Amino acid sequence: MKPIQNVVLVNEQDVALGKMEKLEAHIKGQLHRAFSIFIFNTDGELLLQKRADEKYHSGGLWTNTCCGHPEPGEVITSAAAKRLNEEMGMLCDLKFGFKFLYKENVGNHLTEHEVDHVFFGISNNLPDINEDEVSAYRYVSWEELKDEMNDVPDTFTEWFKIIYEKAFDFFRVTEKFLSKSAA
């Protein structure tokens, strides 16, 4: 049995207001803090993961490299790096890019309502996936992803559909900076 995980409840300005058990926050649609990670290789391809079918929401769907929630009192950058290693078996220097607020129904009577902190990294290392969390991975180019989003959007998570274009735009603008800091 997994230990209880609490999320940080926040207001729209990302000020911490308290904590709540993660599943309860998703059932009630409570605004909470989260992070999303986008790892690109040096060819500019994005590493996607396919969420394990057993996940309590969005199982079997493709999404960004990794995502999760910091625990109360945990530094979000540290939480993101820890989760990347837990899910994808990867260590990578992560740089904060931007944050955004969204609210989406994700099925099973659950709602993702998050202030999502988006981190970026560059790595050519292949993941060593945790099969309890991830069922597959692959690298995609911008063109491939755009085509898939048009042709089969239901194979992607709701939050990824919202953010993928902004993430690719951000990466293209900051790629040289990220590459230098990764070296």
pLDDT in tens, the chain (183 residues): 567 899 999 999 999 999 999 999 999 999 999 999 999 999 989 999 999 988 878 889 999 999 999 999 999 999 999 999 999 999 999 999 999 999 999 888 999 999 999 999 999 999 999 999 999 999 999 899 999 999 999 999 988 998 888 887 877 766 655 555 444
Position 183 scores a pLDDT of 44
The span from the CA of 7 to the CA of 113, in Å, is 12
The span from the CA of 160 to the CA of 167, in Å, is 10
Contact in structure between 145 and 46 (CB atoms under 8 Å): yes
For the chain, give every domain's residue range.
Answer: 6-182
Residues contacting 29, CB < 8 A, separation 6+: 103, 111, 113
Catalytic residue selected from 67, 92, 112, 158: 67
Q: pTM, whole model, 2 decimals?
A: 0.90
Alpha helices in 49-136 (DSSP H): 76-88
Phi and psi at 159, nearest 5°, equal -70, -35
Is 66 one of the catalytic residues?
A: no
Catalytic residue selected from 87, 112, 114, 158: 114
Q: In CATH, what number does 6-182 get?
A: 3.90.79.10
Coil, helix or strand at residue 4: coil
